[in-house]
A and B are shown apart, each in its own frame.
Chain A
Amino acid sequence: DVKVTQSSRYLVKRTGEKVFLECVQDMDHENMFWYRQDPGLGLRLIYFSYDVKMKEKGDIPEGYSVSREKKERFSLILESASTNQTSMYLCASSIPNRSSTDTQYFGPGTRLTVL
């Protein structure tokens, strides 16, 4: 089974802090994604990466950056956390082709609260 893990289930930070959210997948997937999930807004894509050191902006990249130094690890960075970044953050991975395995696999999520 594919496993996607996220470094923390719950995180509380203060405004202005630099925050790192880590995601690791164990199935050698090329694609990795970061979403945030908010009530009434569903999932919104922040960034995705289709290879090591490659990244593409999603729909809401402002206030975030990412790092992909190794294939299995995709980090989301909040340079200076703000209260409007309080949310559930979901990481996912997938294989980039139209085979039967083009499904996205999700981690358990990190619920971040910024005070």
Chain B
Amino acid sequence: GDSVTQMEGPVTLSEEAFLTINCTYTATGYPSLFWYVQYPGEGLQLLLKATKADDKGSNKGFEATYRKETTSFHLEKGSVQVSDSAVYFCALSDDYGQNFVFGPGTRLSVLP
């Protein structure tokens, strides 16, 4: 079946450092790919998405590119802030939007 693998962390960075969180997937068909963020004590919020190969999703300084050839969707940000501290989930959905698969989440801590 479909699956998502991501680095589990925790990842600890200093403010203004560069962030990369790796995500790779296994899927049949042409899934949509997502990054969700969960701040402490809250539910998941959509951070960005891409629905086809070579699409780049971006939001709040974060970006990720749908790479079909490497089955990857790595999350990057050029300069992280303390407020970016959260758990980040990579996910995919199937052609019908009914089967969502999440990675295990990566906890990011940004120190001032």
Contact = CB atoms under 8 A, between A and B. Distances in A.
B97 A40 contact: no
B70 interface: no
Nearest to A45: B100
Contacts of B8: 40
Interface residues of B, number: 23
A74 interface: no
A105 interface: yes
A75 interface: no
Interface string A79-95: 00000000000101011
B111 to A, nearest CB: 22
Contact of B96 (A43, A45, A96, A107): A96
A98 B45 contact: no
A86 to B, nearest CB: 17
Q: Most chain-A Cβ atoms within 10 A of its Cβ — which of B8, B91, B96, B98?
A: B98
A23 B78 CA distance: 37
A47 interface: no
A25 interface: no
Nearest to A109: B43
Contacts of A106: 36, 43-45
A50 B99 CA distance: 11
A61 interface: no
Contacts of A50: 98
B94 to A, nearest CB: 9
B49 to A, nearest CB: 6
Interface of A: 4, 31, 33, 40-43, 45, 48, 50, 90, 92, 94-98, 100, 102-109
Please give me the 10 A-B residue pairs with the lowest Cβ-Cβ distance, nearest first.
A102-B97, A42-B104, A106-B43, A106-B44, A43-B102, A108-B43, A109-B43, A96-B97, A103-B46, A42-B105
Interface of B: 8, 32, 34, 36, 42-46, 49, 51, 89, 91, 93, 95-98, 100, 102-105
Given A40-B8, A90-B44, 12 more contacts: A4-B43, A42-B89, A42-B105, A48-B98, A94-B100, A96-B96, A96-B97, A98-B95, A102-B32, A104-B93, A109-B42, A109-B43
